[in-house]
Structure 1
Amino acid sequence: MSSPRRTLLFTVLVPPLVALYFVYTLQLHVIVPELTDVKEIPGLLSRIFFLLFKPPLGSAGDDDLFQQARSGAARKPFTRHIVAVGDLHGDLPNARKVLQFSGVTDGFGNWTGNVDFFVQTGDIIDRGDDTIALFDWMDKLRGQAASTGGVMLSHLGNHEWMNAIGDWRYVYASEIKTFGTVAERQALLSNGRIGRSWAANYTTTSRLPLHPSLGAPNTPFPPPSKLQKPGTNVANSYYYDAAQPLSHSAISFVHGGLSPTYKDLTPFPSRINEISDSLLKKLQQRVQPPPHPPNAYPGLPSSATQQEKELYDSNGPLWYRGWATDPEAKVCVDVEEVLAKTGTRRMIMGHTPDFTGIVARCKGKIIIIDTGISHAYGGVLSALSIHYTLTPVGNDADQRWVEKEVVSAIYPNKQEVIVTDEREVVGEFLG
């Protein structure tokens, strides 16, 4: 390009584009809504500067500049922020404090839009008087999150299931009064708005992909076409195929734990959630038995299947505590097989409290987030934060990316990094 022409283009085109670029970077583009493609300005500037200042064709560096311009326009960094909170047990004031200092909600208890996913691992009910207020707040936040592109993942803990069964050992008399009567409490938890929300919005476990190329939350793993053949060694199976570098870029959430000997781990999480949906329906639709105590323990319905009974026993995902209580040498071996089967890189759970803080084991492959938030326990207020990024490096032809995950424990006055995982992957990952 001749020098006069280059000068003219520079004088006429670049200043307004630079001005628009600064509007974009300062996040002031809301004042010019008619510029619907303003996010493309950085890529457009890259191409303009490439045309203005590229060396003559055939000169050294021409291919490199072209690749840089192409790369900058085609691949974009991806980020995802997740916050998870454990057992709340009837304490609305402490719950509000936790969600506020972790950035999920503002001072008025409304969704901020500062996180992509908020996960609660169950046991909202019992040991406190704020059952109705807490579940109503969760439903309000669910709607607010959806309106801004955020997602809530909610789980039923063993205490929600106890109440659905009629096991009221940890229900305060003062809490029953907030419902009115025993019968009114039973109705609200079965076919009333709380029970309907449990059936519609709560699961027993979740699989949350860190990158959207793996599908939406709770997409079954493995997909039907990739089911592991019987007798295949896990370490050499599809799960760790180098051709699927993001296959395990996902996290499992559950209340108790995913036992290595639990029979219905896969497909994950769909198999567990199918069983729990079936059992919850049976519990909510039966004539509600008089609660225990003072009456006899009602137990599961007579129509409960063997799989439904195993879901609720001590080895099932609602009650299992082995990841918290077994020796380090054992759990760090056992966890690998469970992660392989569930298509995840770490598992996060509540249920077993440590009143001093969040517990991480096996380099963050096991994380236990119940810290006794409720005043009934007097533990510490806490939340778990996960920042995930997938950043392009090199040029498009290489398809190289740096994947980074920073997992932190957040407390009222401090934040502690639990683990930072970083690696380079190669592939085409569509966000």
Structure 2
Amino acid sequence: MNKILTLAALTLLLSSQISFADTSEKKDKPSQMQGAIFDGPYLFDQSKNEKAHMAYWICANKLLTTPVTNSQLSRPNSCGQLPEPTLNPKAKEIAANAYTGVSKIVALSDIHGQFDVLITLLKNQNIVDKNNDWAFGNGHMVMTGDMFDRGHQVNEVLWFMYKLDKQAQDAGGKLHLLMGNHEQMVMRGDLRYVNERYKVAEKLLQRNYDELYDDSSEIGQWLRSKHTIVKINDSLFLHGGISGEWVDRKLTLDKANQVYRDNIDKSKPELKSDDLLNFLFLGNGPTWFRGYFEDDYNEDEIDRVLAYFDVKHIVVGHTSQTQVLGLFNNKVLAVDSSIKNGESGELLLITPNEGQDTLTRGLYDGSRVTL
């Protein structure tokens, strides 16, 4: 009887074409919270016996498919403005852990599915052009994690970053897409913060939300090739922060990034049962640490970490601010500017200048202020 009622309730919701927008996200615009669901594309590995590689789309709450032709995905007619990505055969190549001689860097964090805010910010700061294509030349862009959860346009953010990944490399630049705690949570099936609208995709594709991005999916394979920490010039970038425990353990970037990739799909009990994995993925590990923002934090610990990595700055997201912020004389640079609220945001620009980095806040309206 309960199953019959549940099915009837779900059918009623789908037929009414009411959006499954997360009611806890009160900042979402009304136009985003009403009307039919348009979502996708979703792309998975398919049997070699298939005549065509198929892409899956949610169009007005209905599941449609289109063939992938010459690595190009084309959305069905009357299916909104969903991304039409070109597949990148090099998307899953593993990049270096450290870079030197980079002429300009832009960093931001914690997008949480707020695609419209992200695009406006990047356009106004001339990181992308009017067509949402890469315009940062040979510069490096760092997204320090948390594209997933909370917001209503996660898939749009992911495919946009997928496109920029190739465009940046083609221009002589680089996109560094780092894994945050919410990427890790989704991949191990912790779905507490997923926007309710994605229940439509789960139902129609007959996959749990984490399975939409598992290692059989194009986006999932791409994400699993990415780092959690990267060093560029004299700055270290990651999601949460580096505690002194990292130094005590004498971990290297090479080892840590490989351990993250090798264990990203393990369950929480599996992670907790291993001392190193418990540190890296949970507790005060690099994707969860918030110590820099605590009143009693000892600056000597930062100096110890800076010396260990031979850097001047540690750039982090994860802990929300109202703006890009410099702490401890800019030893720590906080770039979570609360984009997740869906209203505005900032980014950080780093420009080497005769051994002294110029640090600049890139504001939502396109203006810039020295940090």
TMscore range, shorter length: 0.5 to 0.7
Residues 383 and 371 (structure 1 numbering): CA distance in 2 closer, same or farther, change over 3 Å? same
Return the offset for 1:274.
2.1
2:224 corresponds in structure 1 to 199
Return the offset for 1:256.
0.6
Mapped pair 1:373 → 2:339: yes
1:12-91 map, 5 Å:
80-91=103-114
1:120 corresponds in structure 2 to 143
Residues 268 and 417 (structure 1 numbering): CA distance in 2 closer, same or farther, change over 3 Å? farther
2: CA distance, partners of 1:188 / 1:274: 23
1:226-375 map, 5 Å:
250-262=234-246, 266-280=250-264, 282-283=265-266, 299-301=268-270, 305-327=274-296, 330-354=297-321, 356-374=322-340
Residues 115 and 83 (structure 1 numbering): CA distance in 2 closer, same or farther, change over 3 Å? farther
1:134 to 157, 168, 172: 157
Return the offset for 1:405.
1.3
Question: Aligned with 1:262: secondary structure?
Answer: helix
1:109-188 map, 5 Å:
109-114=132-137, 116-178=139-201, 180-181=204-205, 183=207, 185-188=209-212
1: CA distance, partners of 2:136 / 2:294: 36
User: Kindly, what percent of the aligned residue pairs are identical?
Assistant: 24
Does the 8 Å CA contact 1:103/1:112 hold for their aligned counterparts?
yes
The code of the aligned residue for 1:268 comes to T
Return the offset for 1:164.
1.1
Residues 308 and 357 (structure 1 numbering): CA distance in 2 closer, same or farther, change over 3 Å? same
Q: Deviations over 1:191-250 (max 9, x none)?
A: 2112101112x21111112xxxxxxxxxxxxxxxxxxxxxxxxxxxxxxxxxxxxxxxx1
Residues 150 and 79 (structure 1 numbering): CA distance in 2 closer, same or farther, change over 3 Å? closer
The code of the aligned residue for 2:309 comes to T
Return the offset for 1:176.
3.4
The code of the aligned residue for 2:161 comes to M
1: CA distance, partners of 2:335 / 2:276: 27
1: CA distance, partners of 2:258 / 2:351: 30
The code of the aligned residue for 2:319 comes to T
Mapped pair 1:388 → 2:341: no
Does the 8 Å CA contact 1:264/1:271 hold for their aligned counterparts?
no
Residues 347 and 379 (structure 1 numbering): CA distance in 2 closer, same or farther, change over 3 Å? farther
Question: Aligned with 2:270: secondary structure?
Answer: coil
Q: Which has the higher helix share?
A: 1
CA RMSD in angstroms, aligned pairs only: 2.1
Number of equivalent positions:
268
Q: Deviations over 1:373-414 (max 9, x none)?
A: 12xx2564100001113xxxxxxxxxxxx4231011110233
1: CA distance, partners of 2:271 / 2:146: 25
Deviates more, 1:409-418 or 1:361-370: 409-418
Mapped pair 1:415 → 2:368: yes
2: CA distance, partners of 1:333 / 1:152: 32
Residues 166 and 340 (structure 1 numbering): CA distance in 2 closer, same or farther, change over 3 Å? same
2: CA distance, partners of 1:302 / 1:183: 24
Q: Deviations over 1:7-50 (max 9, x none)?
A: xxxxxxxxxxxxxxxxxxxxxxxxxxxxxxxxxxxxxxxxxxxx
Does the 8 Å CA contact 2:313/2:332 hold for their aligned counterparts?
yes
2: CA distance, partners of 1:304 / 1:100: 45
TM-score w.r.t. the length of structure 1 is: 0.58
Q: Give unmatched runs, 5+ long, in structure 2.
A: 1-100
TM-score w.r.t. the length of structure 2 is: 0.67
Return the offset for 1:101.
2.0
Return the offset for 1:335.
0.7
2: CA distance, partners of 1:307 / 1:383: 32
The code of the aligned residue for 2:292 comes to W
Residues 334 and 167 (structure 1 numbering): CA distance in 2 closer, same or farther, change over 3 Å? same
